[in-house]
């Protein structure tokens, strides 16, 4: 039987999560339905609720309950052990931050996000620069108050990937970069190349939206417990397993953009819907890390959504809905959706070059936070790195350093989790194939639920029982490595491109 202290503790942390979810709902609304002129008042609303949540998280009562529960012990109950351990971590971080600072950050993000949209539209980084300066100043204060041993970035990345350190990630990324660069060269110089023009054929937006919902539902996304809307930047917000909000964006001549965007966000959504409903509002009912979260979206988007078995079933359905592709052979479609070509926009990048986009952002963020890169120099530094890494130079800020929403939301330390997600996904996919030896056959028959169930039982339901690195070992029997990802890419792209 749970002690009275534990029952009180659970009620208290569920209140904290409820307040945080209200803030997330306000932020979702800002990106989807809020009138443009509502940004200033939204900043007040977000600031208020952020302060309420922070006050609850740093309350003396919660501190006393944590101390008492740590003295009591967990009695061998994994849920108790996880909830107490993870709330201790969150509490110890939060009490170092004054409510004033938390509210300042929350208030600063609403106008920054609104200005980012305008700056991106006009391709004018100078318009956004003062907001970036302010948010960096606030985030440096966060890092200093939380504390760090090697560099300030460690204090921020720990929020998204608990226990991760920038230097350790850099080691993995360096090894990855050494193998990615020659692979990109081999693919782009291969004599056989896909016909990318067929991806630009016209597809009515309303039909895209209907087809995307069909795919997400087949994956197992429950639309009675979720939504799919439109925003400038696709994202997924999980308020609880019974209320998960996804967004995408549409272009009549870019069917793949919305389709794979929805598969990506639905991967996130399945994770949120797959968390233990009995643990809503607790760490046991929360995703392990953002890298693990990203592994779910990248696995569905790329390893499944761009696989030939998947399209054996769904390409005839796509052709029936979109006659513009009626004359396209399956092989040509499959080759085209696996085009590898250096590109300007991260969210439109192929899975081979995508990591280079992430490593660029990882490096620039670390430099900005440490004060080695001035905000005014960001566009030039961005363009130079794009030229070095991908051999192309952005023609303007909108297609360069203004393309991502993250900095306008005060999110620093998040970007590396995207590439960590690719690495986790490769290892999880290998484990899934061992457990589901007929996976390709299931995909070819349109049977996507067995994979979802495997992911739910082996990853989603664990919540924060394990840290990301531990979870990878539990599920795959191996430590995190770049090797499975590289081997997956070679096995897939060498036959396609014939190099």
Q: SS3 sequence, 76-115?
A: CCHHHHHHHHHHHHHHHHHCCCCHHHHHHHHHHHHHHHHH
Which of the following is catalytic: 265, 272, 294, 365?
265
Query: Using one digit for the tens of pLDDT, what is the confidence trace for 199-220?
Result: 999 999 999 999 999 999 999 9
Looking at the structure, tell me whether residues 143 and 173 fall in a common domain: no
Tell whether 13 is covered by a domain: yes
**CATH code of residue 192:** 1.10.1370.30
Query: Using one digit for the tens of pLDDT, what is the confidence trace for 419-440?
Result: 999 999 999 999 999 999 999 9
Looking at the structure, tell me whether residues 217 and 109 fall in a common domain: no
- CA 286/CA 275 separation, integer angstroms: 7
Q: Which of 147, 176, 198 is the last residue of a domain?
A: 147
Tell whether 11 is covered by a domain: yes
Looking at the structure, tell me whether residues 279 and 411 fall in a common domain: yes
> Quick check: 1 pLDDT over 80?
no
- CA 133/CA 415 separation, integer angstroms: 19
- CA 105/CA 82 separation, integer angstroms: 29
Tell whether 157 is covered by a domain: no
Lookup result for tokens 């953002």: 290
Kindly report which listed range (10-19, 108-117, 246-255, 359-368) carries the lowest average pLDDT score.
108-117
Supply the range of the domain harboring residue 466: 166-497
- CA 57/CA 41 separation, integer angstroms: 25
Looking at the structure, tell me whether residues 118 and 219 fall in a common domain: no
Looking at the structure, tell me whether residues 426 and 492 fall in a common domain: yes
Looking at the structure, tell me whether residues 192 and 239 fall in a common domain: yes
Tell whether 233 is covered by a domain: yes
Q: Where are the alpha helices (DSSP H) in 220-338?
A: 255-274, 290-298, 308-321, 330-337
Looking at the structure, tell me whether residues 179 and 206 fall in a common domain: yes
Tell me the pLDDT of the chain averaged across its residues.
96
Looking at the structure, tell me whether residues 185 and 239 fall in a common domain: yes
**Are 294 and 421 spatial neighbours (Cβ–Cβ below 8 Å)?**
yes
Looking at the structure, tell me whether residues 305 and 190 fall in a common domain: yes
Looking at the structure, tell me whether residues 439 and 344 fall in a common domain: yes
Tell whether 158 is covered by a domain: no
Tell whether 274 is covered by a domain: yes
Looking at the structure, tell me whether residues 36 and 96 fall in a common domain: yes
Task: Look up the pTM and report it.
Answer: 0.93
Question: Is 453 considered catalytic here?
Answer: no
> Quick check: 348 pLDDT over 90?
no
Tell whether 414 is covered by a domain: yes
% of the chain beyond a pLDDT of 70: 100
Number of domains, the chain? 2
Stated as kind and residue range, the H or E segment containing 228 is strand 226-230
Looking at the structure, tell me whether residues 178 and 224 fall in a common domain: yes
For the chain, give me the number of helices (H) and strands (E)? 20, 3
């Amino acid at each position: 039987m749970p002690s009275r202290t534990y029952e009180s503790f659970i009620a208290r942390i569920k209140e904290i999560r409820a307040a945080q979810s209200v803030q997330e709902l306000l932020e979702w609304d800002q990106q989807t339905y809020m009138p443009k002129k509502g940004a200033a008042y939204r900043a007040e609303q977000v600031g208020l609720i952020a302060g309420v949540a922070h006050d609850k998280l740093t309350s003396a009562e919660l501190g006393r309950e944590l101390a008492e529960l740590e003295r009591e012990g967990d009695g061998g109950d994994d849920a108790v052990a996880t909830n107490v351990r993870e709330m201790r971590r969150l509490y110890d971080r939060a009490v170092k931050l004054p409510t004033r600072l938390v509210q300042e950050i929350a208030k600063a993000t609403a106008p920054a996000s609104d200005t980012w949209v305008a700056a991106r539209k006009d391709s004018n980084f100078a318009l956004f620069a003062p907001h970036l300066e302010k948010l960096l100043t606030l985030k440096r204060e966060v890092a200093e108050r939380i504390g760090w041993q090697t560099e300030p970035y460690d204090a921020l990345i720990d929020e998204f990937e608990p226990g991760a350190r920038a230097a350790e990630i850099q080691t993995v990324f360096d090894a990855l970069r050494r193998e990615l660069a020659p692979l990109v060269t081999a693919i782009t110089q291969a004599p056989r190349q896909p016909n990318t023009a067929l991806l630009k054929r016209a597809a009515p937006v309303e039909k895209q939206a209907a087809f995307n919902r069909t795919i997400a539902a087949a994956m197992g996304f429950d639309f009675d417990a979720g939504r799919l809307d439109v925003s400038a930047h696709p994202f997924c917000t999980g308020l609880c397993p019974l209320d998960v909000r996804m967004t995408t964006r549409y272009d009549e001549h870019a069917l793949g953009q919305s389709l794979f965007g929805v598969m990506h966000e639905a991967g996130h959504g399945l994770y949120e819907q797959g968390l233990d409903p009995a643990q809503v509002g607790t760490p046991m009912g929360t995703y392990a890390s953002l890298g693990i979260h990203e592994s779910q979206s990248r696995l569905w988007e790329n390893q499944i959504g761009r696989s030939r078995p998947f399209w054996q079933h769904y390409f005839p359905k796509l052709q029936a809905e979109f006659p513009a592709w009626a004359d396209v052979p399956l092989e040509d479609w499959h080759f085209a959706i696996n085009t590898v070509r250096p590109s300007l926009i991260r969210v439109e990048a192929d899975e081979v070059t995508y990591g280079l986009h992430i490593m660029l952002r990882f490096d620039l963020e670390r430099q900005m936070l440490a004060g080695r890169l001035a905000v005014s120099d960001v566009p030039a530094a961005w363009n130079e790195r794009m030229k070095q890494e991908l051999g192309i130079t952005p023609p303007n800020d909108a297609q360069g350093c203004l393309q991502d929403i993250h900095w306008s939301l005060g999110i620093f330390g998040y970007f590396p989790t995207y590439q960590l997600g690719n690495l986790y996904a490769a290892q999880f996919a290998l484990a899934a194939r061992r457990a589901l030896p007929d996976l390709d056959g299931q995909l070819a028959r349109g049977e996507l639920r067995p994979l979802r169930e495997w992911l739910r039982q082996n990853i989603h339901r664990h919540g924060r029982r394990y840290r990301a690195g531990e979870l990878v070992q539990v599920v795959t029997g191996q430590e995190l490595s770049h090797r499975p990802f590289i081997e997956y890419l070679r096995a897939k792209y060498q036959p396609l491109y014939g190099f």
